[in-house]
Structure 1
Amino acid sequence: MAHEFHVGRAQRLTDNPRMAMACRGAEYLLPVYDWDPAVRMGPHRAAYLLASLASLQRDLRARGSDLLFRLQPPDEQVRHLYRQAETLYHVDDLPMTLERLPGVFTSFRRDLERSSARWRAPLPVPMTLPPLPPGVSCADVPAPGELGIELAEADDRSAFPFHRGEFAPGETAALAHLRQYLETRRIDSYKATRNGLIGTEFSSKFSPWLALGIISARTIAQAVREYEQEHGSNDGTYWLWFELVWRDFFAFRAMTEASAAESREPRNANAPFRLWCQGATGCRFVDAAMIELARTGWISNRMRQIAASYLIYELHCPWQWGEWWFAAHLIDYDPASNEGNWRYIAGQGADPRGGRRFSIDHQQQMYDPQHRYADFWLGAP
């Protein structure tokens, strides 16, 4: 029997439960990725995704399989595989049902900590893969230019320079980064450095690989657990788990709630929104973030929150507009996390305080008192 296996957001061989299940009993297996030409993507997000698929295709070919890239929207039955990232905890192992999922993250995290819930052990790479169905051949995954997508110009200032080998969108680079991150013990300072703004050394930098399922949350969590067994736990190791649980929380909420995000460009977008997108609001701190996003497809989590707060509370624009813009441009775009974070800032969903309006001046004093970040991206005033 032949199976179509939609890669979706599971673009790896290691710890891929869906692939393992698809291989069972399959005489033939056809890995597939359907590219929806109606989905708007900025050049960096498109380049990153296509490079990830090309890397997966090479890995599959090395094992006698391949990847069929199709220029068409996914069928309704499989569309969720292109939107839902895999979680650290399996839904069946949670200490509550999805219907009783807490509405607040802190309650969800505490329930996990009090329970005996554990993530399932990561699966090894399949020893063999079923061959392609007879007569099927797969062309190379296209480059952005072949799809009429503007080429992404590399910017060496990027905090996630995916044009460099160590940040490449592929499983080999992701696993190497995990090993290096632990071997150098950078995880020990994760909590203290996660709000950095410049360079490649702050935060863990796992999110672009996690967003496309190039590496699994279970693989990361298991490696951190083994690290703790050797070196002991600390604030850094705990906080990395904490952030993976945030990611799960948004994913599980997305399974139970209808999305309120924009799927197309806002028709009535106003001038303040367009200035925000262009990095031309006149607020240098916010403008620097939007320029960084445009030039690299990446901004830190701290600057995402600040830019979101500015759009919602200072420019009085709907959060859905900003969520749509981030979705188009972030290389680590994850539908559940992106919408969840925007709703969190807007006070809809998982925030018991009814919104997170940031004082931009206070945030700059805390995280960029010398204005180095703004000068880095905008030049000295």
Structure 2
Amino acid sequence: MTRQEKVQKRQQNSSHAIKHEARLSAFARSLLREWRKLGLPQSGARVVVAVSGGADSSTLMLALDELVQSEKLKINPIVAHLNHKLRGKASDADSRWVRGLAKQLGHQVVTAAIDVKKRALRSGDNLEQAARRARYEFLTKTAKAKKAKFVVTAHTMDDQAETVLLNLLRGTGPDGLAGIDVTRALKSGSDIVLTRPLLSWATRADTESYGREHAIDFRVDETNADETRTRVRVRRQLLPLLKTFNPKFVERLAHTIEILREDNLALDAAALRLLDLSSDQHQSGRNRRPTSLRADLLRFAPPALRRRALRLWLARVRGDLRRLDSAHIFAIEKLLASTSSGRLVELPGQSTVSRKDGLIHFHAAKSKGRART
């Protein structure tokens, strides 16, 4: 091939690529930019996509399909849908709709059903908490079964704004103000990555607009109009009111959250260093989760770092921070300031923290059914 022929071929390939790119929707192009920015796999990977049938998740799936069909992404999307059994026949219809969408697009689909209401009664969680736990357990199980290392959900900037406003209303600290993570481990210690590629740039209006442009009849969850639920009132009353002060409130809040998130990362690094220094040296050499910490180093640390280090410690030794709040952290701080041994702080789940010999000690709850001697 001559030099001139090579130049002409490159020009033809470039022209073809430009035309191919132009056929992508604006939403798909934005998703591709974010996908690359997050360093997500562009070829050869299996990716589980959580799809409820609503506008946000269905738009994410359809836009990913655009990118796969155009060969901008050479990945294998797997549609995952959990029926929460909360809306009777409507929930079953959602499942059928998602299976139909996956079949139409030619992608694998995994569906399951769980009675979330019964689960909530057993666990003591509210419905929203029980549904969320069930959903992420299902996504974890699906990813493992399909040998996928990435799970994608369709949280938008509106979800981020709602979450932060709810946290403010309930009372929160820096973690609550930093909102939802864009990327994190699906489960503590897991190598499966959970990512939300719409969170930092897409609004609910964007996903609904995509549906109108592509004539997609998304499923509608009528509970999203139930204003007895606090999140729904935030969505339908508080956010519209805030937008009368600033029409770009959701976008501006997202920018603020990103700044807070970066500050949080710096604080976490400092708190981890404090936690490492405070770990009982007799344990730290053989145990990555020391159950005892030096009271003196923690007592004289800056309060913000001390509280963050205590939260990190409790997350490690308990496995999570479920049902822990600031009152428990403040109680442990009082324990640090105490000069007497034998005092206890009771934590949710029947675990405790005590002070003895200049250390604070975590004691896990005793296993039920343990044989008596």
Q: Does the pair score TM above 0.5?
A: no
Structure having the larger proportion of residues in strand: 2
Which of the pair has the greater relative contact order for Cα pairs under 8 Å at 6+ separation?
Answer: 1
What is the TM-score of this pair, normalised by structure 2? Answer: 0.29
- Look at both structures and tell me which one has the larger radius of gyration over its CA atoms: 2
